[in-house]
A = this chain, B = another copy of it.
């Protein structure tokens, strides 16, 4: 079948699959709802790391080497901010800075984060819809031995060092789905929901914590397919494997599947984790084995095609 696809995405890994889906689906057939729990205010600017990763990757502007931010980047403003005694724990490139300045300026003028994100997506030539999960502020916080900490302070400032005993999403309940996200969920031509290979605890759970998302997914009439972020039993990057072990979990695809529970019908796992397939199937899930490593635009498109084929969506 053809129809519309809704992808739920966090940052880097999720952004790559979103870009793959965007590349293989005709313009307008994809809506990406993006985690905003990592958003924060820094030096008076509103920074939305996952939205930016999705925009930059979908428009082919991302830096593949560094893994975040824009390609062909320089760091002149940041160097100067440092020399003026401003906080420098969160690095912002000169080209990237334009996104933050434009976004902050438009938000201050009264635009919603949805409006601003749609404007940026258009300006970057993205032919699909990209929405924040919510226009209401949601802020992911992690509980460490030192107490509750804002996500970016822990993730970037402390480089994920302190152990995490709990995660919360300040602003939920009470945060409404962005209108474009809710509308995509309600589309009569919706054909599939894709949970991108992002960190379940830190990148997907905030999306699921938005008012009505779990209920809508529970009532879905289309397949929901998750792509595992594990390759060879490990998260490619980021703190997922550390979070698993701090929870006393082995951290395999079975833990991913158990975490999503009845929200998903199907899971795509990496071929290197084929040993997990039988147990996942026994648990009631359809399983697709694929190469999930995405080093290039071709890899992204290949995985996107495999995901869509798994749920019978033509591209």
Contacts and interface: CB of A to CB of B under 8 A. Distances in A.
A123 B82 CA distance: 10
B123 A98 contact: no
Majority DSSP secondary structure for residues of A touching B? helix
Nearest to A76: B94
Contact of A45 (B79, B83, B101, B124): B101
Given A102-B86, A104-B44, A95 B123 contact: no
A178 interface: no
B44 A108 contact: yes
Interface in A42-62: 43-45
A115 to B, nearest CB: 13
Interface string A30-52: 00000000000001110000000
A105 B84 contact: no
A94 to B, nearest CB: 4
Interface in A1-50: 43-45
Nearest to A98: B80
Contacts of A43: 101-102, 105
A61 to B, nearest CB: 10
A216 interface: no
A44 B103 CA distance: 10
Interface in A69-101: 74, 76-81, 83-86, 94-95, 97-99, 101
A101 to B, nearest CB: 5
Q: How many copies of this chain are found per oligomer? A: 2
Contacts of A99: 80, 84
A120 B86 CA distance: 11
A119 interface: yes
B85 A98 contact: no
Contacts of A77: 77, 94-95, 97-98, 101
B97 A84 contact: no
A25 B89 CA distance: 38
A81 B94 contact: no
A81 B100 CA distance: 10
B81 A98 contact: yes
A94 B93 CA distance: 10
22 contacts: A44-B44, A44-B105, A44-B108, A45-B101, A74-B76, A76-B76, A76-B94, A76-B95, A77-B94, A79-B95, A80-B94, A80-B95, A80-B98, A80-B99, A81-B102, A83-B98, A83-B123, A84-B123, A85-B119, A86-B98, A86-B101, A94-B94
